[in-house]
């Protein structure tokens, strides 16, 4: 199995048509205080497996080569996760599963279904930080890391770059895998996400004027929820239902999921947000007031722009031309 490095994940998100995310559950038993999607032990999970199978088959039939699977905690879905992993892997997809490692068992291997999932993944993103550590014993995390390595699967440890957390993560990896842990794993440093429970936990950055924002590589990287909602980007707030309706579609069949995936992957307007980006859009007369208005984040600006635009054709000629010009300019830029 070819590993998917942290750098490759970043490149895939920056390249349109390269990846999508299956949000497989809202449920998570860990209860981290900073959870960006507000997952809880009693949050909703898969109930309509007939629809879920159609969703998975639609993703499998897509041209997207790399599929992430997240939640919530994917490993709470003892029926849904193996089903998704087997069908997507059989379709030739590279799979990256995001987990807290809560399923690690000291002195014992994980259950057979979990071992099979690990073997069929290209990479497992194993998150840790002080919030996870307060809920998951280090022995359990270490056991999970060992199980992933024993399955021959690459590990990306996602950790916030603050308060010594990367050093703590490296120490856990050394405990799990030995001094040469970096032959099996790597650290991927992140920053706090002010969504979900993290919205009131982390200090907000300065508000910036609309014209001061640049490009968004999360646009046109669709997310498919287990309940059939497909969104145009991987922003946590959007996944949880925030933002204007034009940024998501509710699908009731696999055919509708496939159409939504294809539409958001190719959508001219969302491609224009990737290149040339918001700075160029703010020069258009219809957004002149937004150019000077201050926004808490690029996502809040996007919601204002998208709400104003409403539903646009996938191949809207103006935004298709604008996105092509943006891509050409980015290609020619020596920077």
The predicted pLDDT at position 130 comes to 46
pLDDT in tens, 161-212: 877 889 999 999 999 999 999 999 999 998 766 555 556 655 677 899 999 9
Dihedral sign, Cα of residue 58, residue 64, residue 70, residue 76: positive
Q: Is 297 domain-assigned?
A: no
Question: How many domains does the structure of the chain reveal?
Answer: 1
Structural domain including 56 reads: 6-203
Q: Is 223 domain-assigned?
A: no
Check which CATH number belongs to the domain holding 123 and give it.
Answer: 3.20.20.70
Q: Is 27 domain-assigned?
A: yes
| Residue 28: burial class (beta carbons within 10 Å; 0-12, 13-18, 19+) | buried
Count the Cβ atoms, other than its own, within 10 Å of residue 62. 20
Top pLDDT among 16 and 61 is at 61
Task: Scan for tokens 């604008």, then name that residue.
Answer: 322
The predicted pLDDT at position 331 comes to 45
Q: Is 244 domain-assigned?
A: no
Q: Is 139 domain-assigned?
A: yes
Q: Which of 154, 83, 170 is nearest to 122 (CA)?
A: 154
Q: Is 165 domain-assigned?
A: yes
Task: Scan for tokens 């669709």, then name that residue.
Answer: 222
Whether 96 contacts 47, CB under 8 Å = no
d(CA 311, CA 123): 36
Segments of 140-222 assigned E as strands:
154-160, 185-190, 208-209
Q: Is 29 domain-assigned?
A: yes
pTM assigned to the model = 0.91
Rg of the Cα trace of the chain?
20
């Amino acid at each position: 199995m070819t590993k998917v490095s942290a750098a490759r994940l970043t490149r895939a998100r920056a390249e349109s048509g390269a990846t999508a995310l299956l949000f497989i559950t809202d449920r998570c038993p860990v209860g981290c205080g900073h959870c960006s999607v507000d997952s809880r032990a009693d949050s909703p999970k898969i109930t309509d497996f007939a629809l879920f199978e159609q969703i998975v088959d639609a993703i499998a039939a897509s041209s997207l080569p790399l599929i992430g699977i997240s939640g919530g905690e994917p490993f709470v879905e003892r029926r849904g996760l193996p089903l998704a992993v087997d069908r997507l892997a059989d379709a030739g997809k590279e799979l990256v599963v995001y987990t807290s490692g809560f399923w690690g068992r000291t002195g014992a291997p994980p259950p057979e279904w979990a071992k099979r999932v690990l073997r069929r993944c290209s990479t497992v993103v194993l998150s840790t930080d002080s919030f996870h550590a307060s809920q998951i014993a280090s022995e359990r995390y270490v056991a999970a890391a060992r199980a992933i390595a024993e399955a021959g699967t690459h590990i990306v440890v996602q950790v916030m770059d603050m308060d010594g957390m990367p050093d703590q993560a490296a120490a856990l990896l050394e405990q799990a895998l030995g001094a040469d842990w970096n032959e099996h794993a790597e650290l991927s440093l992140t920053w706090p996400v002010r969504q979900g429970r993290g919205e009131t936990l982390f200090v907000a950055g300065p508000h910036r004027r609309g014209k001061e924002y640049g490009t968004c590589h999360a646009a046109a990287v669709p997310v498919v929820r287990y309940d059939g909602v497909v969104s145009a980007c991987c922003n946590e707030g959007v996944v949880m239902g925030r933002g204007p309706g034009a940024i998501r579609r509710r699908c009731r069949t696999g055919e509708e999921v496939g159409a939504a995936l294809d539409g958001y992957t190719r959508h001219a307007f969302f491609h224009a947000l990737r290149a040339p980006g918001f700075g160029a859009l703010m020069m258009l007369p219809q957004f002149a007031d937004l150019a000077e208005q201050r926004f808490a984040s690029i996502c809040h600006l996007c919601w204002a722009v998208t709400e104003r635009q409403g539903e646009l054709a996938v191949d809207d000629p103006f935004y298709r031309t604008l996105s092509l010009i943006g891509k050409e300019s980015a290609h020619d830029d020596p920077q």
